[in-house]
Amino acid sequence: MANANQAGAVKHVFGIVADPPGAGVGISRSNPLEHPKHLVGIGTFLPVKPAFELARTLNPALRTVGVVWNPGESNSEAFTKQARQVCGELGLNLLEATIENSSAVSEAATSLVARGADALWVGGDVTVMVAIDTVVAAARKGGIPVFSIVPPMVDRGAIFDYGANFYEVGKDTRFDASGHESPLPLRRLSEAALDIAAAGEIVLIIVAETAGLVGAALRKSPAADSPIQAAARFSHPEIRNWISFTGEPAFAGSLAVVAGVVVRTAGSRLAPMLRPMSKNGGLDGHFHAAACRYRPIRKGALDLQATMKSLMEPQSLQGVLHLLHDTRQAGGSGESEFIRGACWIAPIRNQEVTL
């Protein structure tokens, strides 16, 4: 996001970046006050050395640690470089296996076990964390533990986590694009939420002032159709009788409640229910939105249940949409966009899909 905003069109405040100087966006490593005027925030570099020291304390016989990492992730590269230095100081051998995507993680982890790793370490690598179950499976098959610096990997089978939980660090972060040339599209909010959760699949809820919603709405309930009518529901012209599409962004200036799932993982079991959120691929989602009468979002901590209850008052609801990304070159409405608001984010740990 910082690279896309190098011209400084939007003021950018970050709060969940492990190694800001390593991102190559003009932030000085030696002088934190040296940074682009439009870019400021807090870095959260995870504690590599304490994690390795704890692993050695738990197993004094520890000699070789294996790590799978993606060289395409700057944060992962920074953590791996730190791990090399730490292992040199502690007299440990660091075995490395590099990958380009999550589908290669299992084979890489298995190779580390075969090469004699006494334990597998998971650094701040999103590609690996998406496939953490395969890392744990390879370690268990080889009779060795997994340890991590990114909670909550203990829930997935790691022996311990030692580091900041990026979900906890970033869950209270809000967004505000008011006063700038363009609002924030749903796609960019989804990408940021995935980074906050450090996960490949999340549930995302947004309460925000909208610049416009793009999607489809029901004219009537499908449950009201007879079996014969239901069978023809998607044929033309019958589809016009019960569903409508926004010809242009709708409900501008309203307060929208958006709920759905977004995935950045190839081969997700949720795939049959998802649609692309970008022309270039790599991001799929399924979102519904309720447009409500506008009211300011209060400052401070927000309770999700209380917020939902207050918004769903009588006479407040203006419309409900299944959100779409309309990428048609001629006459396409684009995607839903937001001005300011708050997000609730939760990683999807276990999937039970019934179609």
One DSSP character per residue, 312-342 reads T-TTTEEEEEEE--B--TTT--B--EEEEEE
Average pLDDT over residues 173-183: 73
pLDDT at position 243 is: 82
| Average confidence (pLDDT) over 196-207 | 83
Least confident of 127-136, 220-229, 343-352: 220-229
Q: Is the pLDDT of residue 302 over 50?
A: yes
Q: Are 41 and 15 in contact (CB under 8 A)?
A: yes
| Greatest pairwise CA separation for the chain in angstroms | 74
Interatomic CA distance for residues 96 and 104, integer angstroms? 14
Give the separation between CA 61 and CA 279, rounded to whole angstroms.
Answer: 51
Which of 237 and 9 is assigned the larger pLDDT? 237
Has residue 101 got a pLDDT over 70?
yes
Residue 353 has pLDDT above 50, yes or no: no
pTM: 0.56
Does the pLDDT at position 223 exceed 90? no
Residue 343's pLDDT band, with cuts at 50, 70 and 90, is confident
Average pLDDT over residues 13-17: 64
What architecture (CATH level 2) is domain 48-163? 3-Layer(aba) Sandwich (3.40)
Tell me the average pLDDT across 209-225: 83
Strands (E) across the chain are located at: 12-17, 39-43, 64-69, 93-98, 119-122, 146-148, 160-161, 175-176, 184-185, 201-212, 215-218, 243-245, 255-263, 275-276, 284-292, 317-323, 337-347
Least confident of 52-56, 219-223, 262-266: 219-223
State residue 232's pLDDT score: 65
Mean pLDDT of 247-269: 88
Query: How much of the chain exceeds pLDDT 70, in percent?
Result: 78
Residues 6+ apart with CB under 8 A from 173: 15, 16, 196, 343
| CA–CA–CA angle 277, 170, 176 (5° rounding) | 65
User: Which pLDDT score is estimated for 97?
Assistant: 95
For the chain, how far is it from start to end, CA to CA, in angstroms?
A: 35
345 vs 147, more confident: 147
Query: Residues of the chain with pLDDT > 90: what percent?
Result: 36
The model's confidence at residue 156, banded by pLDDT at 50, 70 and 90, is confident
- Contacts of residues 180-184 at CB distance under 8 Å and 24 or more positions apart, as own/partner, are 180/9, 180/10, 180/11, 181/9, 181/10, 182/9, 182/10, 182/337, 183/211, 183/337, 183/338, 183/339, 184/337, 184/338, 184/339
155, pLDDT greater than 70: yes
Is pLDDT larger for residue 39 or for residue 100? 100
Residue 253 has pLDDT above 60, yes or no: yes
- The angle formed by the CA atoms of residues 243, 208 and 284, to the nearest 5 degrees, is 60
Q: 262 or 18: whose pLDDT is higher? A: 262
Q: Are 150 and 46 in contact (CB under 8 A)?
A: yes
Q: Please compute the mean of the pLDDT values over residues 316-341 and round it to a whole number.
A: 85
What does the mean pLDDT of the chain come to? Answer: 82
> Residue 33 class from Cβ within 10 Å (0-12 exposed, 13-18 middle, 19+ buried)?
exposed
Domain ranges of the chain: 3-43, 48-163, 179-214+249-347
pLDDT of residue 355 exceeding 50: no
Q: What is the pLDDT of residue 306?
A: 79
- Which has the higher per-residue pLDDT, 186 or 182? 186
Considering only CA atoms, which of 221, 217, 215, 225 is closest in space to residue 243? 217
- Does pLDDT of 354 surpass 50? no
The predicted pLDDT at position 179 comes to 64
pLDDT of residue 231: 62
pLDDT at 8: 63
Q: What is the pLDDT of residues 73-91, one digit of tens each?
A: 877 888 899 999 999 999 9
| Amino acid symbol at 238 | E
